[in-house]
Structure formats: structure tokens, C-alpha cells
Amino acid sequence: MKEQLEKIEIEALEQISLATDLKHLNELRVTYLGKKSTIQSLMPMMGKLPSEERAAFGQLINGVKTRIMTKVEEKQKELEALELQRKLEKETIDVTLPGKDFRAKSFHPISIIVDEITNICLGMGYQVEEGPEVESDYYNFEMLNLPKDHPAREMQDTFYINENTLLRTHTSPVQVRTLLKHNGVGPLKIICPGKVYRRDDDDATHSHQFYQIEGLVVDKNVTMADLKGTLSILAKKMFGEKREIKFRSSYFPFTEPSVEVDVSCYACDGKGCSICKGTGWIEILGAGMVHPNVLKMSGFDPNVYQGFAFGIGVERIAILRYGIDDIRYFYTNDLRFLNQFSKER
């Protein structure tokens, strides 16, 4: 039996070393070590041996099995490496072939405007903050000086998840979230671009979902002049160096005083045309000085800190910039529309 095993081992090791591919190697493994192999068929013999020979026989047979197995594993590694080598040689890249035509597609007009405004603000030292679209009533309204029965809530009806959770109606709750993070210590200077929602019947100028960019600056000695200077730079960068802005008084519960900001018409230089509806001015955003109640509720002392804030409607800017006549084009994924915009941001 010992001789038989030695013979098998010699034969197996030789056959394995001659194997030329993985399939062949696997067949050899089955032949020499599989259930029906000679070695396996010798196993039951062990029981028939006198007990003093059993251990030696066991060692012998296991030794043979291990050496064959080791050889199979070595060979497998060798063949795998060879196969990879072969594959690599066969699959070399012909760098002289002309490349495939990956046409650079255009960016979405909303993304272009968001990026543009973000970059201008980053240049003025703002940081970008984000907040959740599923927001609490508390941050979306209460903390912005809009208690439960406030009439200004009427204009911002939205989709409710439950009584206290809703799809945010503006990016202004990010003001609250940021203020709270700063624990009553300024300065802070942030913008927040993002999606907002309202319960609206969609038409050419209304959508139940749109984009805003919120701005907030809180520091000591911040005045309306800082707000005007900032928005003036923004307007010039967006609509051209010759643009001027003007404030019209307005009302937002979270700012006092509040203003509506107009930019002089870029199409007619303020003379009056169809774009500015003959007025020479185009409304671009809402803004104001942060209401002392808002500062107080979020842990800032309004006797020490002041702030200004603004909220830009992104679609409105894109509509003006590109002369788009229906807000719904932004969301219907029509390639004839989307492909018209710049490939660069």
C-alpha cells in the first residue's frame, strides 16, 4: 500500500506540473483527490489495519494528500498569473485608434445659476450651508417669527408629512439652524442654495417645487448699507457692471425693515421695455435686516449683534437670464430645451 501511494504521488505531482490550463488542473485535482480517487478509496482500509499501524498509515496518506494539494495550489497560482499575462497581452490598447465621441452635455440652467451665485458669494467670504428639505414647522415658521396663527403663513402653504413636519417652503430655516450652531457667537456669513416647496397650482410662473438661495450675515455693527453694498455687487456680477439696484419697502416676518430689491433693466438700461414691463426695473429678490426676535430665539443678543438676510428665487434669475417664458420647462426634462445651455458652468 505504501508503494502504491508513493507511485500515485509521483505520478500526480508530475501530471500537475505538466498541466497547461486551469480546467485541466481541476480535472487532475478531481482525479487524485476527489471522492472517487484511489487515495480516497484507500481511506476505509485504515479501519482494517491493526491499531499500531493505523497512525503511521494515517500520517502517510495525509502527507501524500497535503503535498498533492499544495502542488495543485502552487500550479493554480502559476496558471492564473499566466492567464492574466495572456489576457493583458491580447488586450493591449491601440492608442492610435480614434477615441469614442463622448459629447459633453450641457448643465441644467438652474445648476448654472446656482453655481454662478455661489461662486460670487464665495468670493465675498460666504460659506455654503445646507439644510433638510423635510423640515419641522418649528424651524420653517416658528423660529422665523411666524407663530402658528400668523397670517403670513397663508402664502406659504405646503406639503405636510404630519402636523409638525413639512416640505420646507423656503431656505430660511437654514438661517435658524446655522444661528443655533453658533451658540450666540458671531460673526457668520453663509449662503444656502436648495430646493423648496409650496402648495401651488403649476402654471407658467408657478411651480410646487423651485429653488432658492438664502443669504445670512450676522456680526456686530451690520447695517442696511452692508446689505445694499453686497446686493449691488451681486447684481453687477450677475447682470453687468452698469446695473444699479433699488430697495422698495416690503414685509417679511423674519426681517425688519424688509425690502424687495429691483435691478435696473439689463435689456433697455432702465429706459423701459417689454422685459421690465416699461418700468426700467426688474424685481430680483427679497431681503432685510434680521428681526431681533429671530436673533433672540436662536440665542443671539440683538443688542450686540445685527444681521442682514436675503432670499433669491433661482428660477426667476434663470428666466431673466435666458429669456424663458414658462417655468415648467425647467422640470420636464425635454432635451430640446436642456441642450441649449452652456457646456461650461
**Site of interaction with ligand DAH (CB under 6 A):** 170, 172, 214, 252, 255, 286-288, 309-311
Cα 268 versus chain centre, distance: 39
Q: How far is the CB of 259 from ligand DAH (least distance, A)?
A: 8
Q: How far is the CB of 236 from ligand DAH (least distance, A)?
A: 20
Q: Which residue's entry shows cell 415648467?
A: 328
**CB closer to ligand DAH out of 75 and 170:** 170
- Give the residue with the Cβ less far from ligand DAH, 9 or 214: 214
Helix ranges (DSSP H) in the chain? 2-18, 22-33, 38-42, 45-48, 51-90, 109-123, 137-140, 173-181, 224-239, 292-297, 314-322, 335-338
* Choice between 281 and 310, CB closer to ligand DAH: 310
Residue with smaller CB distance to ligand DAH, 13 or 222: 222
State in angstroms the smallest separation of the CB of 231 from ligand DAH.
Answer: 11
Long-range own/partner contacts, residues 128-132 (CB < 8 A, 24 or more apart) = 128/190, 128/191, 128/192, 128/193, 129/174, 129/177, 129/178, 129/190, 129/191, 129/192, 130/174, 130/192, 130/194, 131/168, 131/171, 131/173, 131/174, 131/177, 131/192, 131/194, 132/168
Contact predicate 248/135, CB 8 Å:
no
User: Residue number with the shortest CB distance to ligand DAH?
Assistant: 311
- Select 109 or 194, whichever has its Cβ closest to ligand DAH: 194
CB 165 → ligand DAH: shortest distance, Å?
19
- Would you say 126 or 310 has its CB closer to ligand DAH? 310
CB 300 to ligand DAH: min, Å: 15
Measured from the CB atom, the residue of 27 and 226 that comes closer to ligand DAH is 226
CB of 297 to ligand DAH, least distance (A): 15
- Which residues, in sequence order, are CB contacts of 215 under 8 Å at separation 6+? 121, 126, 190, 191, 230, 287, 308, 309, 310, 311, 312
Residue with the three cell numbers 499501524: 53
Contacts for 83 with CB less than 8 Å, ≥ 6 apart? 21, 22
Least distance (Å) from ligand DAH to the CB of residue 189? 13
